Amino acid sequence: MQTSRIIRPVNSIIFICDRAGGTVPHWQKDRQILSTDSCISVACYPEQDGPTKVTLGFAGEVDPGHQADFNGVLKAPNRVLTVQNVPRETLLAMNVTKEIIRVQVWLNSKKWADDVVIGVSES
């Protein structure tokens, strides 16, 4: 099952993490995706310039057919993966069966992505 939402995220950034949050990565200039073992940050299209479409689902369902811009593992101790904004509001959520999951992120632009696809694998 996949779900999508059109957003204008505050500060043009989203966080992929467990529903309880995680350790936010330290900002690094010119890096669009950053991660810790409990949180992935993704820079999106500037909020004042237009919307960003975010899709969350199982990797096999949402994979757009090209190499992911991020491929790593993430801790989800509550087994609910969320996409959150800076004020920590949940924008999208997905139940998972494991506490450590593989997350892939595909972006449609190397600078300001207005289409972010997040794929989850539990194996």
**How far apart are alpha carbons 2 and 10 in whole angstroms?**
23
Q: List the chain domain ranges.
A: 3-121
pLDDT tens column, 11-38: 999 999 999 999 999 988 889 999 999 9
66 burial level (CB within 10 Å; 0-12, 13-18, 19+): exposed
**How far apart are alpha carbons 116 and 108 in whole angstroms?**
7
pLDDT tens column, 65-109: 999 999 999 999 999 999 999 999 999 999 999 999 999 999 999
The pTM of the full predicted model, rounded to 2 decimals, is: 0.95
CATH code of the domain occupying 3-121: 2.60.34.30
